A and B are shown apart, each in its own frame.
Chain A
Amino acid sequence: MHTKKRTSVGYLIVVYILCVILALLSIFPFWVMIVNATRSTTQIQQHAVSLIPSSYLMKNLKILLGKSFNPAVGFMNSMIISICATACSVYFSTLTAYGIVVYNWKFRKAFFAFIMAIMMIPGQVTMIGFYQMVYKVHLTNNLLMLILPAIQAPAMVFFMRQYMIPALSLEIVQSARIDGAREFYIFNRIALPIMKPAIATQAIFSFVTNWNRLFEPMVLLTDKKNYTMPIMVSLLKGDIYKTEFGSIYLGLTLTVLPLFVVYFLLSKYIIAGVALGSVKG
Chain B
Amino acid sequence: MRQKRLSYAKYGYFFCIPFVVAFLIFQLYPVLYTAVIGFTDLKGLGNTAIHFLTSDPFRNFKTILTNGSFRTAFKNTWLIWGLNFVPQVLLALLLAAIFTSTRSKIKGQGFFKVVFYMPNIITAATVAILFASFFGYPMGPMNDIVTSLGISKDPIYFLQSKTTARGVVAFIQFWMWYGYSMIVFISGILGISPDIFEAAEVDGATRFQQFIHVTLPNLRTIMLFSLVTSLIGGLQMFDIPQLFITKSGPDNATLTTSCFIYNQAFAGSYMYNRAAAASMIMFLIICVCSAILFYLMRDKDEVALNKLIRKQEKEYRKKMKLERQGGKA
Contacts and interface: CB of A to CB of B under 8 A. Distances in A.
A267 interface: yes
A61 B37 CA distance: 45
B279 A128 contact: yes
B121 A208 contact: yes
B279 A259 contact: no
A114 to B, nearest CB: 9
Contacts of A281: 233
A172 interface: no
Contact of A127 (B21, B29, B144, B279): B279
A19 to B, nearest CB: 5
Interface string A248-277: 110010011001001100010011001111
A128 B126 contact: no
Contacts of A270: 117, 121
A129 B125 CA distance: 24
Contact of B33 (A111, A129, A151, A277): A129
Interface string A108-150: 1001000011111111111111111101100000000000110
A32 interface: yes
B18 A103 contact: no
A25 B26 contact: no
B132 interface: yes
B114 A271 contact: yes
8 closest A-B pairs by beta carbon, nearest first, are A99-B15, A103-B12, A129-B33, A129-B34, A120-B290, A105-B12, A151-B22, A275-B187
Interface of B: 5, 8-16, 18-19, 21-23, 25-27, 29-37, 42, 46, 48, 95, 98, 103-104, 106, 108, 111-119, 121-126, 129-134, 136, 139-141, 143-145, 148, 175, 179-180, 183-184, 186-187, 207, 226, 229-230, 232-233, 235-236, 238-239, 242-243, 246, 258, 261-262, 265-266, 272, 275-276, 279-280, 282-283, 286-287, 289-290, 293-294, 297-298
